[in-house]
Structure 1
Amino acid sequence: MRAIQISRYGGPEVLDLVELPDPQPGPDEILIDVAAAGINYADTHLADGSYLTSPTLPFVPGSEVIGRTADGRRVMGLTTGGGYAEKVLLPAALAVEVPESIGDGAALALLVQGLSAWHLLRTSARLVAGETVVVNAAAGGVGSLAVQLAKAFGAGRVIATASAPEKQQMALDLGADVAVSGAADGYAERVVEANRGKRVDVILDAVGGRVFDAAFDALGQFGRLVTFGAASREIATPIEPGRLMKRNASVVGFWLSPALAVPGMFAPALTELFELVAAGRVRPVVGGEYPLTDARRAHEDLLARRTTGKLILRPGGESR
């Protein structure tokens, strides 16, 4: 089978197209022919060796896939790797059947990114109806879903930040009440102004660095800053406990992988996401589709922030 393999750490140039033997399923595993594999920002961190965990080299990246089993069932699921390939093994416990009415990209958007957005708001931020939510990088895969879920979960005001006017408009089209630049300089002032002069209750941030620092300055009393990434590759300034105490504020970290090992963190959330999509209350944004041979270009576009919504690889090059 064809696959994308990483045998050394670096940028997109380390993604090599190779031929590998077909994987053989073991106990509690299923083999699927991959129709599409999701591309996530975490994949770029895996490629350069900066992720929270590092698999043994060489490895095939890709943690979310959708495809068909030998008996024709259409399933998607999460795996510890191997998704950038024509075939992959899935843990049977993390494989779910997908309605034919939901496209590959939309379905994949509900896995890592949809589950992340759900848990960021429900589990980490513990959003209360009527609160103000700020979503940084709101045109991205997680951000575009978080904007819609915040509304669906009863947020009183949703403020989106994005790097370009067209991405800000996209967030508004998805239901944000206001959209502003996500640049670090002047961030707190713009966010507070967007909230009619008041500090905010919840900020979801995957940018990190100076944006994280500025986001903390925009938090109000009992505010929660939830960090789930560091796309800027910058190091944030440590926060002194006294600053937390003065605002009764919280800084909460979230990482999906270990969360899914907790009973009840996977199926119930995904079920609600399917229901919200079926009801038309949430619309996954599907961005670019790339053939497997263009995996490097996909990572280049993602790192350059030229993309919006969910990105997918097509091992067979076909669209659905």
Structure 2
Amino acid sequence: MRAIAVREFGGPEVLEPTELPEPESRPGHLRLRTRLSGVNYADVHLREGSYPAPMPAPFVPGNEVLGIAEDGRRYIALCRGGGYAETTVVHRKLAFEVPDGIADHDAVALMLQGNTAWHLLFTDLRVTAGDTVLVPAAAGGVGSLAVQLAKHAGAKVVAMASSEEKRRIATELGADAVVDSSTTEDLTERILDAAGGHVTAAMEMTGGDVVHATLAALTPRGRLAVFGSVTGANGLVPITSLLAGSKAISGFWLPNLYPSRTHLNDSMSALFTAVTEGWLKPLNGPAYKLGQARQAHHDLAARRTTGKIVLDVDR
């Protein structure tokens, strides 16, 4: 079985093709012939040793796959490593059969990033009609879905993106206003100007100064959900900033929902329905060959891509 393994921590050069024994199926698990493996910032952090749940090297990265089961049915699934391979064994409670009519690339975009966007908006931030929502990296995997989900819920959406092309994409996805996030200079003021005032809810995944700028753009009793730190900077928040505006900050990490399938059942059902109805359109990014995993990590970390990035194992 071909796979991409991390031999040691330290950089993208440690992503190497390797031959592994075929994985064995276990009770309660599904063996999938992998078609697509999702590439995510979590994979980059895991490779660098900065992921919340580190894995000892050597290991095979990849936390989500789309594949074919032995009975011929098509599934998307979450896993803890092992996705960058021709065959993956996943737990049945984290695998969902893909409805007919939903394309492979669209389906895999819904698994990790779709569930993240859905639960950030509706579980953590409790977004409803009338909210003004700030969405970072709005042309990325999570952000592009969050723009559409929040807009469909009746919220006003202010999208942040680092380039003119990405801001154009966010606008086409339905964002009411866009903000240049390539610099943090006067970022709070630019958010307020784009939103026509303070925002009531915000997502954050950059870290550092962006955390402070986003918090300052929140209205009193506003809500901020943090789901990443791409820069690696902590961006510590003074308690007085929270007290003065009665503002709330929550952290979000999708694996905390894995023990109970109920939450994921609800979000997957809603996401599949939205795509089938045609109002939610996953933004498909580049598809790399399995042996190009190193390049995929380079491009993602350098923010050269938009939408959902995958490894096409069949290529």
Q: What is the alpha-carbon distance in structure 1 between the residues aligned to residue 295 and residue 91 of structure 2? A: 29
Matches within 5 A, 1:1-320: 1-155=1-155, 157-182=156-181, 183-196=183-196, 198-236=197-235, 238-317=236-315
Which ranges in structure 1 are unaligned for 5 or more consecutive residues? Answer: none
SS of alignment partner, residue 105 of structure 1: helix
CA shift for structure 1 position 106: 0.7
**2:94–2:261 contact (8 Å) kept in structure 1:** no
CA shift for structure 1 position 105: 1.3
Note the alpha carbon deviations across 1:113-144, whole angstroms, 9 max, x for none: 00000000011111132110010111110000
Note the alpha carbon deviations across 1:186-238, whole angstroms, 9 max, x for none: 11001100112x111011111111111111111111111111000112221x2
Q: What is the alpha-carbon distance in structure 2 between the residues aligned to residue 188 and residue 87 of structure 1? A: 46
SS of alignment partner, residue 239 of structure 1: coil
Letter in 1 for 2:291: T
Q: What is the alpha-carbon distance in structure 1 between the residues aligned to residue 57 and residue 243 of structure 2? A: 44
CA shift for structure 1 position 98: 0.8
Q: What is the alpha-carbon distance in structure 2 between the residues aligned to residue 165 and residue 98 of structure 1? A: 34
SS of alignment partner, residue 150 of structure 1: helix
Q: Give the % identical residues.
A: 44
SS of alignment partner, residue 263 of structure 2: coil
Structure 1 residue runs of 4 or more that deviate by more than 6 Å after TM superposition: none
**2:147–2:173 contact (8 Å) kept in structure 1:** yes
Letter in 2 for 1:272: A
Note the alpha carbon deviations across 1:134-175, whole angstroms, 9 max, x for none: 1011111000000000011221x1000000000000000000
SS of alignment partner, residue 126 of structure 1: coil
Which one is further off, 123-132 or 163-172?
123-132
SS of alignment partner, residue 89 of structure 1: strand
CA shift for structure 1 position 280: 1.2
Number of positions where the alignment pairs a residue of Structure 1 with one of Structure 2? 314
Letter in 1 for 2:161: A
- TM-score in terms of structure 2 length: 0.97
Letter in 1 for 2:125: A
Q: What is the alpha-carbon distance in structure 1 between the residues aligned to residue 75 and residue 237 of structure 2? A: 43
SS of alignment partner, residue 289 of structure 1: strand
CA shift for structure 1 position 262: 3.5
CA shift for structure 1 position 87: 0.2
- TM-score in terms of structure 1 length: 0.96
**2:60–2:82 contact (8 Å) kept in structure 1:** yes
SS of alignment partner, residue 266 of structure 1: helix
Q: What is the alpha-carbon distance in structure 2 between the residues aligned to residue 154 and residue 259 of structure 1? A: 26
Letter in 2 for 1:128: T
Q: What is the alpha-carbon distance in structure 1 between the residues aligned to residue 35 and residue 128 of structure 2? A: 38
Which ranges in structure 2 are unaligned for 5 or more consecutive residues? Answer: none
CA shift for structure 1 position 176: 0.1
Taking only aligned residues, the RMSD between alpha carbons, in angstroms, comes to 1.0
SS of alignment partner, residue 37 of structure 2: strand
CA shift for structure 1 position 240: 2.4
CA shift for structure 1 position 263: 4.7
